[in-house]
Amino acid sequence: EGYAYNMSAPRYRATIHLTYYNRPSALNTLMEDSRKMAYQHSVRADAIRESLYEDSARRVYALLYRLSGDVASAVQFYATDSVSHFLRGALYFYVAPNADSLAPAVAFFDADMVHLLETLRWKSF
C-alpha cells in the first residue's frame, strides 16, 4: 500500500504528487508503472528525456523524466534504494498546458525535484 502526499504551490497552480511505498512487494512493477505513466504523455510530448541519478553511498537510485511540449506533466521521477523504499513524484499544473508559458515554472520545479533526489535520505520505520 502506498502513502500519497501532494505538495501544492497555489501561486503557480501546480502540485507535485508524491507516492511512497515502504517495503514494496513488487519493486519492478512500480518502476515499470512509473515508466508507463511518464510515457502516457508521449501523445502530446515533443520528447521525453530520461536522466539517471545514483548515489550508492546513500542507496538512492533514481530516474527523472523530463517531458517537453504541451504536456500535462513536464517532470516526473522515481527513486528507490532497490530493497525497502520507493518514491514516485509527478509535477502537474492546473492550467492548459503551454510549454512556452510554463517554461519558467517548469524549470523552477525541475530544479527542486533534482535537489530532492540529490539530498534524499531513507529512514527505517
Domain harbouring 106, CATH code:
3.40.1000
Q: Is 124 helix (H, G, I), strand (E, B) or coil?
A: coil
Whether 81 contacts 27, CB under 8 Å: no
Q: How many domains does the chain have?
A: 1
Position 1 scores a pLDDT of 72
Whether 67 contacts 113, CB under 8 Å: no
User: What does pTM read for this prediction?
Assistant: 0.93
In whole numbers, what is the pLDDT of the chain averaged over residues? 95
Position 124 in a domain = no
Range of the domain at 13: 2-119
Give pLDDT tens digits for 63-95: 999 999 999 999 999 999 999 999 999 999 999
Position 33 in a domain = yes
Output the nine-digit C-alpha cell for 34. 512509473
Question: What is the C-alpha separation between 106 and 108, in angstroms, rounded?
Answer: 5
